[in-house]
Amino acid sequence: MASMQTSPSPRPGSSGGADAAARAAELSAANINPKTGLATDYLNHFNEAIMLLEMIPDMPECSEDFLGWQPLSYAEHFKLSNFKARDLAIDAYEHADPGIRQDFDEVTSNMTAILSAIGDAMRGAKQDSTRTKLAEEAVGWIKPLIGRAGGIINGQGSAADVDFIMSH
């Protein structure tokens, strides 16, 4: 049974002749992958947390900056950003292939859960050395997931990669 499209514009990666080509060009011009409907700009949200965590070993006071980091959904990130095509990015995400979006959401949910748990643990830590160890561990866990999320955005890989990363 075919599903009906509720949006007047075709989904990323769908066929639709000239309309699909125009949509793909519009997405590409906005730095949104027309194949997946996802933008790497969202990963900046996680890269900010990584940057703060990487500073903690040399500047323990940066743990306070990291603790100020707040998780944001894809749509929340773009609504709060200066990204020129933020509405287009949100629309493309909402119309992305459900399987691609599920894989992407799973990876970003894992990153959010890790960063939130590290933040909770840091709030309870009494020593800078504990915060440093937590930061170093988190960076080691998150960086491969950021790479995985980037692969999904760029149309590479499979969900099995996430299972491999999370088990190692």
Q: Between these two residues, 168 and 153, which has the higher pLDDT value?
A: 153
Q: What is the pLDDT of residues 38-65, one digit of tens each?
A: 999 999 999 999 999 999 999 999 999 9
Residue 8: predicted pLDDT: 35
Q: Between these two residues, 14 and 8, which has the higher pLDDT value?
A: 14
Does residue 39 sit in helix, strand or coil? Answer: strand
Does residue 63 sit in helix, strand or coil? Answer: helix
Let me know: does 112 contact 129? Beta carbons within 8 Å.
no
Residue 157: predicted pLDDT: 60
Report d(CA 46, CA 49) in Å as an integer. Answer: 5
**Residue 5: pLDDT over 70:** no
pLDDT band at 19 (very low <50, low <70, confident <90, very high): confident
Let me know: does 103 contact 17? Beta carbons within 8 Å.
no
The reported pTM is: 0.80
Sign of CA dihedral 115, 134, 51, 165: negative
Q: What is the pLDDT of residues 86-118, one digit of tens each?
A: 999 999 999 999 999 999 999 999 999 999 999
Q: Flag the least confident range among 16-20, 133-137, 149-153.
A: 16-20
**Residue 166: pLDDT over 90:** no
CA angle at residue 139 from 137 to 141, to 5 degrees?
70
pLDDT band at 16 (very low <50, low <70, confident <90, very high): low
pLDDT band at 18 (very low <50, low <70, confident <90, very high): confident
Residue 48: predicted pLDDT: 96
Report d(CA 16, CA 92) in Å as an integer. Answer: 15
Mean pLDDT taken over the chain? 87
